[in-house]
Amino acid sequence: LMNFQTTQKIQKPELIDTLTDFSSKGPRSIDSLLKPEISAPGSSVISAKMGGGDKGVKMSGTSMSGPHIAGVMALLKQAHPELSTAELKSILMGHATSIKDEKGVPYLLSRQGAGRVQTYESATAQLVADRGAISLGEVNLETQRVSLEKVTIKNISTAVVQGRLALESSGALQLQNAQDLTLQPGESKQVSLKLAIDGSQLKDKISEVDGMLKITNDGRELHRIPVVAIVRKISQLKASKLKVHADSPASSAGALVEMTITNAGKNTGAALPFNLLGVDQRKLDVHNDSAMSKACDLQAVGYRVIEKTVEDRHVKVLQVGVKLYEPLTTWNACEISILIDSDGDKVPEQELAGIPLGNVKGLSAATNENQFTSVLLDAAKTRDLRRDYEKMAASKVGEKKAEENYAAAVIDELPMQPFNHSTVVVVEADVTNLAVASDGLLHFKVATIFNEASTVEMDDYLGRGPGQWQKISLEDRAQAFMDLPELVSIEPGQSITSEFTKGEGFQSLLLLYPDNRSVFSSQQTDLQSQILK
């Protein structure tokens, strides 16, 4: 006889509808659309072991939450064979339940999606929508705006359905036209939704606003649609004047240069000046395949040589400013690669990489794998380490597993400046560590590398293809403009005149404005850069 009664309790709050600490947060890294879309059990779940007969296996993560949702979708298809895949997704998301952390604070929708899945409620749904979510993505905002979104609601039950459509949200996101709905059996209605965003209630430059659009009847929830937007409080920076205080280009070296930038917008913005290296054309998609991404599309590159203090050491650095055509939520999937050839054989001796440390084996620990860093690598040693790893992996000598580790190839690490939700990033290197050629110049080429498989072009080089090498001098006077400010911050309605010095070079001035308006259209041009001649 066993007595299972006890006064001792083991607290497991993660077992009662709280998210695990390893559950990923959205939004989507390229376009800021809603991810995840739904939550399901995925912590220490025991299930049948594939190929294991009657054995089980315990796993955590999407390895278990994914099969949960797949199973639910199969049951929903069985219950509603007449519904399309999109409609099944709608009743799945539309009948989830919101979850909170252990302190009772609701999770952001970018953590939980529509909520935790509820199979029975989804299977017995009365309503279905043509959209599982209203995902606004990146929203450029000065102070206020209203978006018009349309959703079609269908009654899939055999009874008349009445309900009130309204939005539960924070103060910054509001539905201006809450409305009543009456749907006969089988009837569909399209509703227009006026979603207003009030920037005065947002303190940060980048804010996530969300809400849950609900159809309710006498307090009972009939359907839900999550609404999410990533709001960028944009500036309107533009340089109106670039004056070189010299009577001719022949006498301009060493002359004073004045640059005036005005912020005509209602939010603070930043300007970063560089000497222009070049402008690149857009990635081409000859097949016009919507499944293929054109993200990480290089538009323009500039450089400057400045002096700065990095972690208590005074260094002279080469900074390379890179601009894309379309913005990124974060720069995790888009790396910057600057290949350096010091002996003229077209094989790089060094690589300056702008990366999260976790992207290169051996460079990070669990605490800093997402730390964006400018890493200067010995390219020859990197190739040797890779070759040795492949040999060891192929030989399978003994039981020791081959491990990749490129820490021995690191020459130096300096900060990297990724401006999230923009098209702008800056990488840098100590000039004393750079391998210049025998002519005293730095021979290099610049590329962006997109770390996703479905792309029209993975490595996007500045110029015409991967074979084009550029040359610059790292001497101050060789630049077209020297003593450039690292960043100029300009308040709303303010004009600032910056003073620097004309060098001996003849490049144009590239201004990067990461806080200005961005676009996702391949036919339009954003306002995050300006070239002055």
* pLDDT tens per residue across span 307-344: 998 888 899 999 999 999 999 999 998 999 999 999 99
End position of a domain, from candidates 201, 233, 265: 233
Residue with tokens 């089980």: 56
Q: Are residues 225 and 273 in the same domain?
A: no
**pLDDT at res. 452:** 83
- Rounded mean pLDDT, 99-124: 95
Q: Are residues 207 and 328 in the same domain?
A: no
Residue 116 lies in a domain: yes
Determine the residue type at 135. Answer: S
Contact residues for 120 (Cβ-Cβ < 8 A; gap 6+): none
Number of structural domains found in the chain = 2
CATH number at residue 68: 2.60.40.2310
Burial of 100 (0-12, 13-18, 19+ CB in 10 A): middle
* pLDDT tens per residue across span 429-466: 999 999 999 999 999 999 999 988 788 888 999 987 77
Residues 279 and 297 sit within 8 Å (Cβ to Cβ): no
**pLDDT at res. 399:** 63
Q: Does residue 212 surpass a pLDDT of 90?
A: yes
Read off the pLDDT band of 102 (50, 70, 90). confident
Q: Does residue 385 surpass a pLDDT of 70?
A: yes
Joined together, the tokens standing for residue 411 give: 């020459």
Residue 154 lies in a domain: yes
Q: Are residues 218 and 317 in the same domain?
A: no
Q: Are residues 41 and 157 in the same domain?
A: yes
Joined together, the tokens standing for residue 62 give: 């999407």
**pLDDT at res. 14:** 61
Residues 397 and 432 sit within 8 Å (Cβ to Cβ): no
* pLDDT tens per residue across span 496-530: 999 999 999 999 999 999 999 999 888 889 999 99
Residues 40 and 68 sit within 8 Å (Cβ to Cβ): yes
Q: Are residues 98 and 188 in the same domain?
A: yes
Q: Are residues 220 and 282 in the same domain?
A: no
Q: Are residues 208 and 336 in the same domain?
A: no
Residue 386 lies in a domain: no
Q: Are residues 175 and 285 in the same domain?
A: no
Contact residues for 171 (Cβ-Cβ < 8 A; gap 6+): 198, 201
Q: How far apart are CA 163 and CA 413, in angstroms?
A: 59
- Rounded mean pLDDT, 84-110: 95
Residue 396 lies in a domain: no
Residue 34 lies in a domain: yes
* Phi then psi dihedrals of residue 506, to 5 deg: -125, 25
* DSSP per-residue codes, 116-141: B--HHHHHT-SEEES-S-EEEEEEEE
Burial of 137 (0-12, 13-18, 19+ CB in 10 A): middle
Read off the pLDDT band of 171 (50, 70, 90). confident
Residue 5 lies in a domain: no
Q: How far apart are CA 287 and CA 330, in angstroms?
A: 27
Contact residues for 266 (Cβ-Cβ < 8 A; gap 6+): 142, 143, 492
* pLDDT tens per residue across span 221-256: 999 999 999 999 999 999 998 999 999 999 999 999
Percent of the chain having pLDDT more than 90? 80
End position of a domain, from candidates 176, 208, 233: 233
**pLDDT at res. 290:** 75
* pLDDT tens per residue across span 126-136: 999 999 999 99
Residue 346 lies in a domain: yes
Q: Are residues 229 and 242 in the same domain?
A: no
Q: Are residues 204 and 257 in the same domain?
A: no
End position of a domain, from candidates 204, 233, 262: 233
* DSSP per-residue codes, 355-383: EEGGGSTTS--TTTTT-EEEEEEEHHHHH
The 3-state DSSP class for residue 169 equals: strand
* pLDDT tens per residue across span 358-371: 999 999 887 888 89
Q: How far apart are CA 405 and CA 356, in angstroms?
A: 15
Q: Are residues 84 and 111 in the same domain?
A: yes
Residue 384 lies in a domain: no
**pLDDT at res. 93:** 98
Q: Are residues 314 and 351 in the same domain?
A: yes
Name the average pLDDT for the chain.
93
**pLDDT at res. 467:** 65
Residues 317 and 430 sit within 8 Å (Cβ to Cβ): yes
**Regarding beta strands 298-310 and 269-279, do their DSSP bridges make them parallel or antiparallel, or are they unpaired?**
antiparallel
Residues 295 and 277 sit within 8 Å (Cβ to Cβ): no
Quote the domain boundaries for residue 420: 237-356+372-377+411-532
| Tally of CA atoms within 13 A in the half-sphere of 397 that contains its CB | 6
